Amino acid sequence: MTSSQGALNARKVLTKGGLGAFAMRVLALGLAFIADSYLANALGLEKYDVWASAASWLAILTVLTCLGMHTAMVRHLPASLADKDYGLMRGMIGWTSKRMLLAGVIIGGVLFSLRYFIAGSSEEMAMLLAIVALMLPVQGLNVHRQGVLQAFKQPVWCLMPDQVVRPLTLLAGLMIYVLAWGSPEPRHVAWIWLISLTAAFLAGAVLKRRLTPREVAAATPKINAKNWQATARPLLFLHIAGMLIAQADPAMLGLIGESGQAGIFAVANRIALLLGFGLAAVNAIAAPLIAQLFAAGERQELQGMLTLAAKGIALFTIPTAIVMVIIGPWLLGIFGEEFVAGYPALLWLIGGQTINALAGSVGFILTMTGFQIIATRIIWVSAIGKIILNFLLMPKWGALGGAIGTAIMLAFWNFWLWLEVRKKLDLEPTILSSLLPK
C-alpha cells in the first residue's frame, strides 16, 4: 500500500468512524440528559448533592480499577493486528481482563472497609459507598470491553453499552421506582445504577464476542506482561491525574464545601462536558489510527488525519459553546430551579472545556506515540495544581471555585501538552494546522 493510499484509508476510517461515534454520542447525550434531569428533579438538590459525591467516588476509583490497561490495549492491539499476531492479541485481552477484575474486587473491598471513615456522620453516604464498592468490578469490565472494541476500530459498538444501554436501563428503572414507590432516596438510585451497569456489561459481552476477529478467538494466547505493564503503568498515573482534574470536584465539595455545592457543580459540569463530545468522538477512532500511522512512519498522513479531526472538532465545539452560554440558565433549570445558581460556574466550565476540545487529541498523540511519561508528568503537575486551587477556592466560593480551578488547569494542561507535541513530534493537532501558511 502506498503512502497516499494509507492516508486515504486512514481519513476514510476517521471520517466514517468519527461520524458514527458522533451520532452515537448525540443519541447518548439525549438519553443521559433526560436521565440526569429526571434524577435531579426526583431527588432534589439536597439528596442529589449526596448522590453526586458518591458518583464522583465511583469515577475516581474506576480509574484505579482499570490500571491503565484499557488504553494500553488501544495502543498495542492495533499493532499486533497489523502483524497478524493473533495469539498476542488474545493473550493481552485475557491478561488485562483478569487483572482489571481483580483490581475492582480489591479496591471495592477497601472502599467498603473505609466507607464510614469517608462518609463521616452520614449514614446515607456510607450506604452509597458500599453499593459503589459493588459497582467497581462491573464497571472495570465495562471499560475493558470498551478498550477492546476501540482497539478493533469499532467506535460505535464500543460506546453502545455504556452510552445507550446503561442510561436507558437507568431511566426505565427510575421511572418504574417513582411510579411504584414515589420519590427515591440516593441509596435506591445507587441500586438502580448498579442494575444499569450490569445490563451494560451483558450487552457489551455479547458485542465483544461477536466483534472479536475469529483468528483472535481461535489463537493460542501469548503473554508479554513486561511490555504491557511498562505501557500501562504511566498510563494509569496519567488517567488518575486527568480524573482528579476533571471529575473529583463533587467529592471534594462534599468534604470541604457547603451543602448543595457538590450537586450544583455536578450538574454544571455535566452540561459543560457536552462540549467534549466532538473530541471524544474523534478520539474513539483516532487513537488506534495514531498508533498505526506513527508506527508505520507515515508522518504526513498522520498530520493530515489530525487536521481533518481538528476541523470536525471545531465545527462542533465553537457553535455549541456559544449556544450553551446563551441558554445556560434554561439548561440548568431543567434539572430544577435550585440548580440555576450554578450559571457562573457553568460559564467557567464552558470556557475550560472549549479550550480542552480545541486543543485536539494532544494527550492521545503523546500516549499513542511512546511519550506517555511526558504526558503523565504534565497532567500530574496540573492535577496537583488543581487540588491546591480547590482547597483555596472551594471553601469560599463552592462550586464556582471548583469551576474556576478546573478552567485554569484545563487551559494550562492543554497548552503544555500542545507545546510537547510540537516539540517532540513536529505535529499540529489544532485547527491552526489549516489556518497557518504551510
Give phi and psi for 360, each to the nearest 5: 85, -165
* pLDDT for the residue 129: 96
Measure the CA–CA gap between 203 and 381, rounded to whole angstroms. Answer: 38
Measure the CA–CA gap between 231 and 291, rounded to whole angstroms. Answer: 13
* pLDDT for the residue 19: 59
Measure the CA–CA gap between 402 and 195, rounded to whole angstroms. Answer: 31
**182 burial type by CB count under 10 A (0-12 exposed, 13-18 middle, 19+ buried):** exposed
Closest-CA residue to 314 (of 434, 205, 147, 191) = 434
429: left (phi > 0), else alpha (psi -120 to 50), else beta?
Answer: alpha
* pLDDT for the residue 273: 86
Measure the CA–CA gap between 408 and 30, rounded to whole angstroms. Answer: 29
Q: What is the pTM of this model?
A: 0.78
Give domain limits for the chain: 3-435
- Helices 166-181 and 186-211 cross at an angle (nearest 10°) of 150
Q: Over its length of 438 residues, how does the chain's per-residue pLDDT go in tens digits?
A: 444 444 445 555 555 555 566 666 677 777 888 888 899 998 988 899 899 889 989 998 999 999 999 989 988 898 888 888 999 999 999 999 999 999 999 999 999 999 999 888 889 999 999 999 999 999 999 999 999 998 887 877 888 898 889 999 999 999 999 999 988 999 999 999 999 999 999 999 999 999 998 999 999 999 999 999 998 988 888 888 878 777 778 888 877 878 789 889 989 998 998 888 778 777 767 767 787 788 778 888 888 888 888 888 888 899 999 999 999 999 999 998 889 999 999 999 999 999 999 998 888 888 888 888 888 888 889 889 999 999 999 999 999 999 999 999 999 989 999 999 999 988 888 887 666 555
Cell readout for 424 is 517532540
Cell readout for 342 is 450554578
* pLDDT for the residue 7: 46
Closest-CA residue to 332 (of 322, 344, 320, 321) = 344
**309 burial type by CB count under 10 A (0-12 exposed, 13-18 middle, 19+ buried):** buried
Measure the CA–CA gap between 411 and 282, rounded to whole angstroms. Answer: 20
Q: Are residues 216 and 92 in contact, defined by beta-carbon separation less than 8 angstroms?
A: no
